[in-house]
Amino acid sequence: MMKFRFRRQGADPQREKLKQELFAFNKTVEHGFPNQPSALAFDPELRIMAIGTRSGAVKIYGAPGVEFTGLHRDTATVTQMHFLPGQGRLLTLLDDSSLHLWEIVHHNGCAHLEEALSFQPPSRPGFDCASGPLSLARVTVVLLLAAGDLAALGTEGGSVFFLDVPTLTLLEGQTLAPDDVLRSVPDDYRCGKALGPVESLQGHLRDPTKILIGYSRGLLVIWNRAAQCADRVFLGNQLESLCWERSGNTLVSSHSDGSYAVWSAGAGGSPVTQPTVATTPYGPFPCKAINKILWRNCASGDHFIIFSGGMPRASYGDRHCVSVLRAETLVTLDFTSRIIDFFTVHSTRPEDEFDEPQALAVLLEEELVVLDLQTPGWPAVPAPYLAPLHSSAITCSAHVANVPAKLWARIVSAGEQQSPQPASSASSWPITGGRNLAQEPSQRGLLLTGHEDGTVRFWDASGVALRPLYKLSTAGLFQTDCEHADSLAQAAEDDWPPFRKVGCFDPYSDDPRLGVQKVALCKYTAQMVVAGTAGQVLVLELSDVPSEQAVSVASVDLLQDREGFTWKGHERLSPRTGPLPWPAGFQPRVLVQCLPPAAVTAVTLHAEWSLVAFGTSHGFGLFDYQRKSPVLARCTLHPNDSLAMEGPLSRVKSLKKSLRQSFRRIRKSRVSGKKRAANANSKLQEANAQLAEQACPHDVEMTPVQRRIEPRSADDSLSGVVRCLYFADTFLRDAAHHGPTMWAGTNSGSVFAYALEVPAAAAGGEKRPERAVEAVLGKEVQLMHRAPVVAIAVLDGRGRPLPEPYEASRDLAQAPDMQGGHAVLIASEEQFKVFTLPKVSAKTKFKLTAHEGCRVRKVALATFASVACEDYAETCLACLTNLGDVHVFSVPGLRPQVHYSCIRKEDISGIASCVFTRHGQGFYLISPSEFERFSLSARNITEPLCSLDISWPRDTTRTSHRLRESPKLSQANGTPGVVLAPGSRDGSPGPARSKGADTPEPPEATLSPMSIDSATSADTTLDTTGDVTVEDVKDFLGSSEESEKNLRNLAEDEARACAVLIK
């Protein structure tokens, strides 16, 4: 007996081998829009686009499914990127003035992005003096010459350096100092002043010896590298940007006063002082600078002038605009976020006479917008990827696996009816480089995201490119305050400038009550339920045709005439009455409103029984949406729980309030966009400091951080919050008869199980007879550790979870074993327990918190298929903890299988946003706009597999070392991709947790307790409004604060330790 008990589970080699075949951890791909983009590049030959970010990530996109990701070793902003055309190589400039050469290399037929070389400007004397003209310290512009073999670097000092790109070595002696240029300039222009930084470098398309150099002060020089002399000199105003027309005969320059000038570069020797045309497009009042200007000519004889900025300073100085001018047509594209950069897709072959721009791509802070310039009206082209997930902040997400083809087609068609141009979208997307080698996904996966503005977006999550399919808006059902604002704004808009709203990023929510809290979809009946912040529970059904109908409204009082409680929170939403028009797609059928209108915290749908269950912080209810009548309402409030009653607007503790305010402030700054990493850092510290002040005004500096050890008591605040709801057909009352049951778990460790009397549907009929559903309380389980119940699932006689409604009856899943021997798995934040049914007795349990000190945040039952054997699969419990680790447990034995470090523990919204799929994958937000996809399964991995046709000599002498082998271990926002070996967890705890001891530590996992990296991502992640609890935030603040204190403790203990030593 003793031998048995103390035998280590992991010792079995057979099992170890099986584990390796089942489980493997990979972070595979980042979906969505890169957070904080800072640079853009386009390779017209390969038709691939690169986006660089402030965290040093480089992402290359081609055709849908073609994606490459790289991460610079230093977390520095990528300021410029230039493709070596056709070579699949990319030169990046960071804001520390280092240059990096990236290349796409093929391993086993698949392409990866790797850093090949890097170049740090030399810092020897003579070069070092930052203000001197010969300093390379601040590179302002980069120009690639001679098919990318040579790079010209313009600097702040006004010099132009030349760099051999294949080796990234500086070509000494070719440097063009400002003095060389000044010799060609008339004396009166010189007048002892410097030329200023090099603002622009442009190459001639056909004559590689000519470079157009623009200096900040306004001097434009066409420099002939062969003759080492200036061909032409133009004297202009304070310069912002330059563009050389393809024939080389015309230049266009943009200036800081909001004007642009066109210069003729034909024959002539003397310096030109007057441009042929100079206009201030949005004058006559003072305008802001035109930051970038492009000139593209067309076969029809006219030309495009595309520029950013230049808006009238007083009236529209805060707009983010790009103006497109062709002949007499001017359109002012009005974006909702800051413009980073833009480019046109046009012909770059030297022999062509015209640019013929096809498309304009504008990279904004929060999205990428592509306009089709060949179609009249320049419509926007829907992007097949890079979708701004956060166009309204994501509030919840859900994944639906194995979507039936029929439902998929209906959702796609509903989405096509929504977007104005369904047909041409695929063909006109201009960025088409590379080939996607990934196999067609074997099954369709649907990712649903709920948003703050009351929308639910449907994404195709089957492959690498996360494609928007359909958008469901629930706001139309309700009367909101801000309805008239839009129409007023439209009317007030003048004709000039001719604004056109472009892009979908909209950080402003009309009414926070519309926010979607929970979503559930039945994939067989195409019914779904959307539950929101004001206690609204909406049952919808997919319809292929538009309709006009009234929605029946019911309200359920969850307080159940408890007295002494007053709700001080928001009002419930008032629904519109009467028939309302609904477009094709999901159309509301029934609206249930909870009273008091607290945010819905759990929802579940059983389409077979036509039942929806919902829970708030006050209780839970059950609603029969076929008969449109409530079945059950139960209050879960503890009598002492006054906090829950007051609603979200007036929390008792001012600490919580101040927390929220602090974060709200941070969030605002995030949206405004103009923010550097350091700035964010200080903001966060400021918030921390403020919090600390309010929490304990005096001795925050003096006392080291400490934690109070007190057991959880029954009257903790918010104990009545319903955390999970579950429907199951199982044995609740006796072992002879199984039947419908509903389970609810609360924040205080209570589980309520109801036996339901659902009238059986007539044979063959879909609808059940019109008789009332009844619910009888069958069992009530109180977990003595009182931790919140995170999930409930019923396991059948073979230990497998019950299939979803309709799954078994439609032969899509193996029928459950209904011979009895069922068990219920209850996962709390601290423990997992399996109890037998119908007589509840404890079967197995695992006390995660007691063993590991971590708490459960998310759990899901997932099926893991083996890589070695086609038809072997195990169902396991995947669990994400508050430390960001993912654990996998066997079911129903609850034996730990593997664990991996997945998310940084500081990334609370990343942890809160995590969603697992049914087949061992998962998603979490790494920034407000990006989902990281990870895989726990060794077999089911969705990762980019693509190739590019690259033509360049591979035998170049490379003196450098490989800096990075696999891009998969890193992540663009700097999360260390530490992968713990799938070690046995049953061993002694010390060695098993030796993080990074036997795995290489990635360079960005710094030891400093509060690196800038963590601060920025902490800041940026805070503005998703996922269900981050106050406790999460306290944890988080504590940990950053704590590390500071630890340092102090170390110092203190040093003294103490010495004393011990003396003894």
Query: Is 489 one of the binding residues for other proteins (CB under 8 A)?
Result: no
Q: Is 708 in the site for other proteins (CB under 8 A)?
A: yes
Q: At its nearest, how many Å lie between other proteins and the CB of residue 1037?
A: 12
Answer for which of 317, 704, 759, 1000 binds other proteins (CB under 8 A) is 704
Cα–Cα distance measured from residue 98 to residue 410, given in angstroms and rounded to the nearest whole number = 51
How far apart are CB 839 and other proteins at their closest, in Å?
A: 9
In whole angstroms, how far apart are CA 1033 and each of 638, 656, 1051? 24, 10, 28
Based on CB atoms, which residue is closest to other proteins, 418 or 849? 849
* Closest by Cα among 602, 603, 606, 547 to 580: 547
- State the nearest-atom distance from the C-beta of 755 to other proteins, in Å: 9
Using CB under 8 A as the binding rule, the residues of this chain from 839 to 878 that contact other proteins are 840-847, 849-855
Name the residue nearer to other proteins (CB basis): 625 or 846.
Answer: 846
Contact 447, 397 (CB under 8 A): yes
Evaluated on CA atoms 64, 912, 1017, 887, the torsion sign reads negative
Return the number of the residue (446 or 783) whose C-beta is nearest other proteins: 783
Q: Which stretch binds other proteins (CB under 8 A): 378-386, 796-804, 937-945, 1048-1056?
A: 1048-1056
State both tokens at 852. 């590991």
What SS3 class is residue 314? helix
Choice between 797 and 987, CB closer to other proteins: 987
Beta-ladder partners of 103: 89, 114
Does residue 993 bind other proteins (CB under 8 A)? Answer: yes
Which residue from 182, 860, 883, 926 is in contact with other proteins, where contact means CB under 8 A? 883
Question: Do 749 and 785 meet the contact criterion of CB atoms below 8 Å apart?
Answer: yes
Residue 636: CB minimum distance to other proteins, A: 14
Question: In the range 714-733, which residues lie near other proteins by CB under 8 A?
Answer: 714, 733
In the chain the first and final C-alpha atoms are separated, in Å, by 46
Residue 740 CB, shortest distance to other proteins, in Å, is 16
**Smallest distance, Å, CB 887 to other proteins?**
14
Beta bridge partners of 931: 31, 925
Least distance from C-beta 1020 to other proteins, angstroms? 23
CA–chain centroid gap for 930, Å, is 2
Distance between CA 572 and CA 550 in Å, rounded? 19
Q: How far is the CB of 735 from other proteins (least distance, A)?
A: 14
Determine the Cα–Cα distance for residues 450 and 521; give it in Å rounded to an integer: 12
For residue 501, count other CB atoms closer than 10 A to its CB.
12
Structure tokens at 20: 């390796």
Q: Which H or E run contains 1050? A: helix 1030-1062
- 1052 contacts other proteins (rule: CB under 8 A): yes
| Shortest distance, position 953 Cβ to other proteins, whole Å | 51
Coil, helix or strand for 861?
Answer: strand
Looking at the Cβ atoms of 780 and 949, the one nearer to other proteins is 780
Stretch that binds other proteins, among 111-119, 332-340, 611-619, 989-997 (CB under 8 A): 989-997
Task: State which of positions 27-66 bind other proteins (CB under 8 A).
Answer: none
Cα separation of 911 and 829, whole Å?
14
Instruction: Please report, for residues 149, 199, 220, 618, 719, the alpha-carbon distance to residue 158 in angstroms, rounded to integers and kept in the order given.
Output: 22, 9, 12, 68, 66
Q: Using CB under 8 A, which of 267, 736, 1060, 1062 touches other proteins?
A: 1060
Least gap, CB of 27 to other proteins (angstroms): 23
Cα Dmax for the chain: 105
As beta bridge partners, residue 915 has 923
Binding mask 994-1033 for other proteins (x = CB under 8 A): x---------------------------------------
Task: Rule CB under 8 A: choose which of 710, 770, 811, 870 binds other proteins.
Answer: 710
Q: What is the DSSP letter of 374?
A: S
The 3-state DSSP class for residue 682 equals helix
Among 379, 630, 821, 987, binds other proteins (CB under 8 A): 987
912 class by beta-carbon count within 10 Å (0-12 exposed, 13-18 middle, 19+ buried): buried
Cβ proximity to other proteins, 112 vs 779, nearer residue: 779
Coil, helix or strand for 661?
helix
Q: What would the x/- binding string for other proteins be over residues 658 to 697, using CB under 8 A?
A: ----------------------------------------
Residue closer to other proteins, measured from CB, 149 or 852: 852
φ/ψ bin of 560: left (φ > 0), alpha (ψ from -120 to 50), beta (otherwise): left
Q: Is 544 in the site for other proteins (CB under 8 A)?
A: no
CA atoms within 13 A on the CB side of 228: 7
Residue 990 binds to other proteins (criterion: CB under 8 A): yes
Q: Is 973 helix (H, G, I), strand (E, B) or coil?
A: coil
Tell me which residues in 758-787 interact with other proteins (CB under 8 A). 776-785, 787
CB atoms within 10 A of CB 952: 15
Among 28, 402, 560, 1049, binds other proteins (CB under 8 A): 1049
Q: Hey, is 963 helix, strand or coil?
A: coil
488 binds other proteins (CB under 8 A): no
- Least distance CB 71 / other proteins (angstroms): 27
Residue 576 or 895 with smaller CB distance to other proteins: 895
CA distance 464 to 41: 21
Q: DSSP secondary-structure letter at 392?
A: S
- CB nearer to other proteins: pick between 640 and 956: 640
Provide the minimum distance between the beta carbon of 640 and other proteins in the complex, in angstroms, as a whole number.
12
12 lines the binding site for other proteins (CB under 8 A) = no
The footprint of other proteins on this chain (CB under 8 A) covers a number of residues equal to: 71
Is residue 754 at the binding interface for other proteins, with CB under 8 A as the rule?
Answer: no
Q: Which stretch binds other proteins (CB under 8 A): 41-49, 168-176, 609-617, 836-844?
A: 836-844
CB 461 within 8 A of CB 415: no
